[in-house]
Copies of this chain bind each other. A is one copy, B any other.
Amino acid sequence: MSERSYAILGTGALGGFYGARLQQAGLEVHFLLHRDYQHVRQHGLVVESTEGNFTLPQVHAYSDVQDMPRCDVVAVALKTTQNYLLPHLLPAVAKDGGVVLVLQNGLGVEEEVAQIVGPQRVIGGLCFVCANKIGPGRIRQWDYSSIFLAEYSPAYQPTEVTQRLRQIAADFERAAIPIEVGQDLLLARWRKLVWNIPFNGLSVVLNATTAELMANPDARSLVEELMDEVAIAAHRCVGEGSSTENRLITENFIQKLLEDTTRMQPYRTSMKIDYETGRPLEVEAIFGNPLRAAQQAGIDLPKIATLYRQLKFLDARQQIAGTSSHPSSSHSSV
């Protein structure tokens, strides 16, 4: 692959933002859309961001994966609640020898993708970005934009930084996206859960922004207690069986995350936006899978389990109430 082509599955805030940046940097990008297809086909994409605004008047837009060309890199930017579509989508759009780049939140998605395209063709990407879709084909990025990339290997064993990983990293760097490559995808996933579990969960259950949660002593304590449970689980699920001490999540890491969150502007998490807009919540990827992984490792996470059940209740009630859901709409990664 000298010049890689990209397919973006799910052109919400996340897929739209990164895809548009890649196209702006001169790469070939193909966007799968659902609700916004007609609008984007006619008007392209608009990105407002901390580094300036830009418009792509013309993009390769598709409403059906069968119409898309096969691409070198297929970026999965759907909500995980849409992942039942992947067995249909991925084989249609991934080039022979191409890779699938999982940009979603939560734990265990790479394993699902590996079962569809094979374990040698999966890369994990963790997006640290605050972005929302603010209108059809219109994305607003508020804060951060970096991505952590690592190869997936079966059972999430640490692995090499491959040549193809460096090439994909170089593409994003060409689009001025800060990129870190690493060898330990599982640890990276758990580290991101340290933030996502308390803030996504409590923002929905307590109808609160990150700033409200950080400002209240009880909510902040609960955030820290939930983070501690994630760290304990990570220690068991990642740390054991590893020879490297740095696979653990330290107290320093947690404190740094809390300080960073305090400095962020008040933020509605992706799960809160999903809830407010009537979309299904990514409860299984962000809560259910980590809980089951911890359980298999022999540990209970009672506070996370409480939040999980609360979210399942709220999600079920809302979905039963019949609010329609749409793939690839407003989306942010934290």
Contacts and interface: CB of A to CB of B under 8 A. Distances in A.
Interface of A: 202, 205-206, 208, 212-213, 216, 218-219, 221-222, 225, 302-303, 305-310, 312-314, 316-317
A306 B222 contact: yes
Smallest CB-CB A-B distances: 9 pairs: A302-B302, A218-B312, A222-B309, A218-B309, A219-B313, A306-B306, A303-B306, A216-B313, A218-B313
Interface class of chain A by DSSP: helix
A314 B222 CA distance: 13
A212 B303 contact: no
Given A205-B310, A218-B316, 14 more contacts: A206-B310, A206-B314, A208-B313, A212-B317, A216-B316, A218-B308, A218-B309, A218-B312, A219-B309, A219-B313, A222-B309, A225-B306, A302-B303, A306-B307
A309 B212 contact: no
Interface centre among A202, A218, A219 (most CB of B within 10 A): A218
Contacts of A312: 216, 218
Nearest to A314: B206
Given A216-B316, A216-B317, A316-B216, A221 B309 contact: yes
Interface centre among A307, A309, A312 (most CB of B within 10 A): A309
A222 B303 contact: no
